[in-house]
Each structure stands twice: as structure tokens, then as C-alpha cells.
């Protein structure tokens, strides 16, 4: 996954070793990302075949509508995790944007102005996070836990226990509308555009490579000419911007602005990102895996709800899935390395590509 950036510079001249240790089909199909995608497909097929009324356009519509806020927040958070930082304040930024929209609208501001102010409120959260993490170089875990509480508190302070609900009907139906005759929500077109933009940004631009470089070793990256402060600052701004947009979407999806809206969303976001194969230590992860990870969580939740399980069981299942997806590959790597070590000691000489692979570490 991450070797690509390095091999690109080594293509000139004749090489005496293989570019990759494994053939192309193994590198693309036998990855964490591919396994998550396969899980999505397998679970969908089994659920559609065995649960009555599951395989309907309505299921697809609800599933996609439910994962939309999580997916949109997960895209910038993926980049932030790849850069070696974390953002726990996304849900509070969504809630803050939602509350600002509701509050201004109730005060008589036209809805377009309120939406703009909401998006800017999200951006403000990103600005504060970016300044504290990138410029002052404070740890993002502590900073974003702080801004999580700070902006949630401000949101509840603005609206108290009020709930603003009289939003324009046209916007509410637009946020819930499907492509006529299908179960495909219109909002998914915006989501698809966002996915493509973030995938291109992370995987096919110099900025994306500097994000990986920052996550793999910030000092090395800085000495190699990566402007790490600017990279991190940009990422937190992006996270705030997307959270602001999600806040606007959320307002019309549920037709409600309340101080506690979207509380706890950050956990779903982080779970989706980590399940999608992004390393919490930075430097590793792909957008496609995150999209599949978020969809898998949404799908498992949907299936379990169909089987009449309540949220406690659903949380156990999602939590278990997350722990398994992180722990099992680590455990297997440890076991196979021990086995390989023992085998090497006894007799067989190493294959050439395997030894190359090890030197690379």
C-alpha cells in the first residue's frame, strides 16, 4: 500500500530485484480493504436471501441515508488519521453547525444565510483544532476531546432544551428524496463526488503523498520538504468544512435542530475508519477501505435491527467486529513471524523476494 511512493522514484536504471514481493492479483485482492468489501458483499447476499422483506429498495435507501453523515465525516478523518493525528470533535462540529442553522433560522435569518453560517461554524471548529494541533503542536487527542466538549457545550448553551423544527418542507423532502423509482437517495450523488475528490486527493496528488509522509514520520517528512504544519492545518480545516456541510444536511434530513443532535457520531466515524484498515498510528490506509468499512457497519446494524436486536446487541456486534478486525491480523502476523523465524533457524534458505522484503523494513 505505502511502498508505491518509494518504488516510483526507483524505476530508473536496471534493477536486480522485483518491484513487488507479491504478484498484482494478490496485492489487490488479498488486502484488508478487499476483505472488508468482500464482507459487505457476503453479508448483503446472506441477508437478502434469508431475511424476509430485507431485499427492497427501501432498505437500500434507509441504509444509505443513515450512513451518509458518517461517510462524509469519515473522509477527512481518514486523512487526519493517515497523517498521524485524530479528530474526535467531528460530531460536535456537526451539532454546532446544526444548532447555528436552527438558531439563526428561528431568529428570522433566511435559510440560505443560516446554512452558510452553519457551514462556516463547522469550519470554525476546524480552524480552532488546526491552530491548536498544527501551529501550537498540541496533541490532537487532547485538543479534539476538548473541542468536542467545548462546541457541544456552546450548542446546548445556544438552544437550551429547545428544538427548532419549522424548516422549509421542500428542503426536508429534498434531503430524504430518492432517484425516482429506485432506493438510491439523491444525496448520494454528493457523497460520491466527495468520495472521488478525497480518493484523488489522498492517492494521486503530491498533497496526498505528503499526508502519508507526515504520518510515517513527521521529522523525516519535514526534512524532506513537506510542510507538515500546513498539511495538518489543511486537514483539520477540511474536517471542519465537511462537518459543517453534514450539519446542514442533518438539519433537513431530520427537520430538527437541537443541542444534542449528532452526539456520539464521532465513535461511528472512527469505528468505520479503523475497520476500513486505516492505522491509528498513521501512514497507512485507503479511502476505498473506509467507504467499505462504514458501509459494513451500516449494513450489520441494519441486518441486526431487522432481526429485532436492540442497540445494546448492535453495539456489541459493531464493537466486536472492530476489535476482531484490528486484533486478528496483528495476532496472525505475530504467530506467522514466530513460525517463520523458527523455520529459518532449522533449515530452509529464504526466498530472494522475502529477504528483500525484510531489508526494506
CB nearer to another protein: pick between 138 and 279 = 279
- Tell me the C-alpha distance between 102 and 105, whole Å: 5
CB 306 to another protein: min, Å: 6
Residue 279 · residue 1 · CB < 8 Å: no
CB 136 to another protein: min, Å: 27
- Tell me the C-alpha distance between 254 and 261, whole Å: 10
Strands (E), 213-330: 257-258
CB nearer to another protein: pick between 244 and 283 = 283
Contacts of 273 (CB under 8 A, 6+ apart): 74, 77, 78, 81, 285, 290, 293, 294
Contacts of 278 (CB under 8 A, 6+ apart): 78, 81, 82, 284, 285, 286, 289, 290
List, as one string, the DSSP characters of 112-170.
HHHHHHHHHHHHHHHHHHHIIIIIS---HHHHHHHHHHHHHHHHHHHHTT-EE----HH
CB 289 to another protein: min, Å: 11
CB 292 to another protein: min, Å: 12
CB nearer to another protein: pick between 34 and 229 = 34
CB 163 to another protein: min, Å: 6
CB nearer to another protein: pick between 29 and 196 = 29
Residue 90 · residue 269 · CB < 8 Å: yes
Contacts of 214 (CB under 8 A, 6+ apart): 83, 84, 221, 226, 228, 231, 232, 282
CB 216 to another protein: min, Å: 10
- Tell me the C-alpha distance between 89 and 92, whole Å: 5
CB nearer to another protein: pick between 56 and 224 = 56
CB 7 to another protein: min, Å: 14
CB nearer to another protein: pick between 220 and 337 = 337
CB nearer to another protein: pick between 14 and 166 = 166
CB 224 to another protein: min, Å: 20
Torsion from C-alpha of 76, 82, 85, 91, nearest 10 degrees: 30
CB nearer to another protein: pick between 22 and 197 = 22
CB 233 to another protein: min, Å: 26
Q: Is 20 exposed, middle or buried (0-12, 13-18, 19+ CB in 10 A)?
A: middle
- Tell me the C-alpha distance between 82 and 285, whole Å: 6
CB 1 to another protein: min, Å: 8
Q: Are strands 163-164 and 257-258 parallel, antiparallel or unpaired?
A: antiparallel
- Tell me the C-alpha distance between 21 and 7, whole Å: 12
CB nearer to another protein: pick between 76 and 102 = 102
Residue 17 · residue 356 · CB < 8 Å: yes
CB nearer to another protein: pick between 103 and 233 = 103
Amino acid at each position: 500500500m505505502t511502498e508505491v511512493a518509494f518504488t516510483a522514484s526507483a524505476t530508473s536504471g536496471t534493477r536486480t530485484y522485483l518491484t513487488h514481493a507479491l504478484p498484482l492479483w494478490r496485492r489487490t485482492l488479498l488486502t484488508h480493504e478487499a476483505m472488508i468489501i468482500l464482507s459487505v458483499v457476503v453479508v448483503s447476499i446472506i441477508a437478502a436471501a434469508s431475511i424476509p422483506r430485507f431485499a427492497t429498495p427501501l432498505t437500500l435507501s434507509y441504509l444509505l441515508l443513515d450512513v451518509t453523515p458518517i461517510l462524509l465525516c469519515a473522509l477527512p478523518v481518514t486523512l487526519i488519521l493517515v497523517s498521524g493525528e485524530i479528530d474526535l470533535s467531528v460530531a460536535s462540529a456537526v451539532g454546532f453547525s446544526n444548532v447555528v442553522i436552527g438558531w439563526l433560522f428561528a431568529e428570522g435569518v433566511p435559510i440560505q444565510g443560516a446554512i452558510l453560517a452553519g457551514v462556516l461554524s463547522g469550519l470554525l471548529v476546524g480552524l480552532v483544532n488546526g491552530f491548536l494541533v498544527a501551529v501550537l503542536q498540541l496533541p490532537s487527542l487532547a485538543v479534539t476531546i476538548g473541542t468536542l466538549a467545548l462546541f457541544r457545550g456552546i450548542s446546548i448553551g445556544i438552544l437550551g432544551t429547545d428544538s427548532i423544527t419549522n424548516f422549509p418542507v421542500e428542503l426536508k423532502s429534498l434531503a430524504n428524496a430518492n432517484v425516482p423509482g429506485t432506493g438510491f437517495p439523491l444525496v448520494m450523488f454528493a457523497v460520491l463526488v466527495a468520495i472521488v475528490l478525497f480518493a484523488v486527493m489522498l492517492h494521486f496528488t503530491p498533497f496526498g503523498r505528503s499526508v502519508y509522509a507526515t504520518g510515517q514520520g513527521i521529522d523525516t517528512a519535514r526534512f524532506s520538504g513537506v510542510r507538515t504544519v500546513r498539511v495538518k492545518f489543511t486537514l483539520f480545516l477540511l474536517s471542519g468544512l465537511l462537518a459543517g456541510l453534514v450539519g446542514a444536511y442533518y438539519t433537513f434530513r431530520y427537520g430538527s435542530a437541537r443541542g444534542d443532535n449528532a452526539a456520539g457520531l464521532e465513535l461511528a466515524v472512527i469505528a468505520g475508519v479503523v475497520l476500513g484498515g486505516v492505522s491509528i498510528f498513521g501512514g497507512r490506509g485507503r479511502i476505498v477501505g473506509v467507504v467499505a468499512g462504514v458501509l459494513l457497519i451500516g449494513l450489520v446494524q441494519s441486518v441486526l435491527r431487522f432481526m429485532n436486536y436492540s442497540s445494546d446487541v448492535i453495539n456489541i456486534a459493531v464493537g466486536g467486529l472492530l476489535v476482531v478486525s484490528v486484533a486478528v491480523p496483528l495476532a496472525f502476523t505475530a504467530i506467522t513471524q514466530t513460525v517463520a523465524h523458527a523455520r529459518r533457524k532449522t533449515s530452509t534458505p529464504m526466498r530472494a523476494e522475502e529477504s528483500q522484503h525484510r531489508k526494506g523494513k
